[in-house]
Amino acid sequence: MSGTSIADVMPRLLVKPEMIAACQRRDFSVVFAVIKSSGISASAIARACELTPNRVSDVINSRHAIEKLAVIERIADGIRIPGRMLGLADRAWEGALPDASSGSGVSLVWDPRQVTDMVRRYTRSDLVMDRRTAAVAVLAGSLGPTLVESLERWLRDDPKEQWSGRARGVGEDEVSQLEHAARVFRQWDHQFGGGIHRKAVVGQLSEVADLLKVPHPRRIQRRLYAVMAELAGSAATMSWDCGMQKTAQDYYLMAVQSAKAAGDRPYGAKVLAGLARQYLYLDRANDALDIIRLARDGAQGHATPAVMSMLHTREAWAYAKLGRVEAFRRATATAEDTFANAVATDEPHWIAYYGEAEIAGVTGGRWLELARFDPKYAEPARRNITQAIETRGRTGLRSLALDRIGLAEVLFIQGDHSAGVRAASGAMDVAEHTQSGRVVEQLRGLYGYTAARASYPGIRDLRDRMRDLLTA
């Protein structure tokens, strides 16, 4: 087994708010400390930056400040920090980034033909892109009013049909096969995580965009745009799960525009909810709240109870991130009440994952976030996450692994170390069968959390097992 390298950890570290802020200040004590906290040794940092280990330690402990431009540039190149994050010119290695990671190939155009062309160009770049190269592309500091305002065009009337004349495209049977393929890809992602399936989804998405170059009957055309929307949504989730944050955002933007071309407001709202969730994970709760409110406004009167309930859980998530506990409670109660009116046979296939277990898991995760600052919230976290585990089954291994990791942390917060060890062991039993970057990220966080508890019975062995899994 090979150990974790700087190249492995930097993509996920570069999107952390503390890392972004430290780079803007050129505060390398924080930059190095964040890298070191992810399991990278001072010696490894030193080798990458052409410094001595003692100098790296001095920087981390604020005994030495790095100010020389040549050294800053050497660090940027050694550990692959994009130049713009440090106030430098783009580095030479950044110039090789294809459009898919630079973000220059995606914009909010809303015209179906332009969306199709954009998807074709982007997917072709993505298919030849190295995953680690793509992962260093960094999201903007905030969505800001310009992008949010552009997203509001999603609320306007659906676009007029773009094609006229004699149809010569694919038929009903071929579209049905594409729809089935899109569902299979979505189920793979839900079950195992992004991992090895991401490029397969991108390839299929590229094929669908090619099909839309030629005219089709109105019904076929809309179905093809719906397939393109679902594949782009899956590509977004898988890219995010692999740590490719900017690529994920680009696919979310392509998915919501494809959904509009398909005239599918409920799925468009689902895509915006996914984009909001990405920003919640990046601790940008205000941006996420703006997006989820936009999704809810657009879905009102069009979406089913399960879809509206899911949107309310995302709103609740944002309130929890902002520390607004009572607003979080109210939004969660609304989500539960709304879901009570759902009828499974009336719901779209892509919301089938959502149910009482998902509501409990999401709610428990938010109580856990609050419990990290105030232990009084640990009990509702434990209760909800336990309910999720008991009712979820094994149809969504990624979610089950995340639930078990969360439960382990809750139990450690409550001081029940033996139960925490059992829960963490159960999490690893499930995690071994996924290819999810988010699961690895959460396990790495739990590994760090247990460091101060290594003297308790069973935790040292647990950490050894976690280390093996994290470095595999």
Q: Is the pLDDT at 163 greater than 60, yes or no?
A: no
Same structural domain, 81 and 105 = no
Same structural domain, 23 and 90 = yes
Is residue 354 within 8 Å of residue 319, measured between CB atoms?
A: no
Give the tokens for residue 2. Answer: 């090979």
Domain presence at residue 247: yes
pLDDT digit string (tens) for 382-399?
999 999 999 987 667 888
Residue, of 450 and 148, whose pLDDT is higher: 450
Residue, of 196 and 318, whose pLDDT is higher: 318
Same structural domain, 124 and 244 = yes
pLDDT digit string (tens) for 177-206?
999 999 988 887 776 666 667 888 999 999
Domain presence at residue 157: yes
> Span 328-356, mean pLDDT?
95
Same structural domain, 39 and 161 = no
Domain presence at residue 200: yes
Q: 62: alpha, beta or left, given left = phi > 0 and alpha = psi -120 to 50?
A: left
Domain presence at residue 398: no
Domain presence at residue 104: yes
Q: Which of 120-129, 177-186, 463-472 has the highest mean pLDDT?
A: 177-186
Same structural domain, 111 and 240 = yes
Q: Is the pLDDT at 224 greater than 60, yes or no?
A: yes
Residue 158 pLDDT class (50, 70, 90 cuts): low
| pLDDT value, residue 165 | 46
Same structural domain, 10 and 119 = no
CA dihedral for 38, 44, 48, 53, sign (positive or negative): positive
φ/ψ (deg, to 5) at 148: -60, -40
Same structural domain, 111 and 254 = yes
Expressed as residue numbers, the domain containing 232 is 97-263
> Span 234-248, mean pLDDT?
86
Q: Is the pLDDT at 66 greater than 50, yes or no?
A: yes
Same structural domain, 132 and 37 = no
| pLDDT value, residue 168 | 60
Query: Which percentage of the chain shows pLDDT scores above 90?
Result: 46
Least confident of 41-45, 130-134, 232-236, 382-386: 130-134
pLDDT digit string (tens) for 25-60?
889 999 999 998 888 888 999 999 989 989 999 999
| pLDDT value, residue 103 | 40
Is residue 41 within 8 Å of residue 75, measured between CB atoms?
A: no
| pLDDT value, residue 169 | 66
Is residue 394 within 8 Å of residue 425, measured between CB atoms?
A: no
Domain presence at residue 201: yes
Same structural domain, 25 and 150 = no
Query: Which percentage of the chain shows pLDDT scores above 70?
Result: 86
Average pLDDT, the chain: 85
| pLDDT value, residue 102 | 40
Domain presence at residue 67: yes
Same structural domain, 126 and 255 = yes
Domain boundary among 96, 130, 148: 96
Q: Is the pLDDT at 131 greater than 70, yes or no?
A: no
Residue indicated by tokens 């780079």: 23
Give the tokens for residue 12. Answer: 């996920």
Residue 161 pLDDT class (50, 70, 90 cuts): low
For the chain, how many structural domains are there in total? 2
Domain boundary among 76, 96, 116: 96
Long-range contacts of 32-40 (CB under 8 A, 24+ apart): 32/56, 32/59, 32/60, 33/60, 35/6, 35/9, 35/10, 35/79, 36/60, 37/448, 38/4, 38/9, 38/13, 38/444, 39/4, 39/9, 39/444, 39/447, 39/470, 40/4, 40/5, 40/6, 40/9
| pLDDT value, residue 411 | 95
| pLDDT value, residue 130 | 55
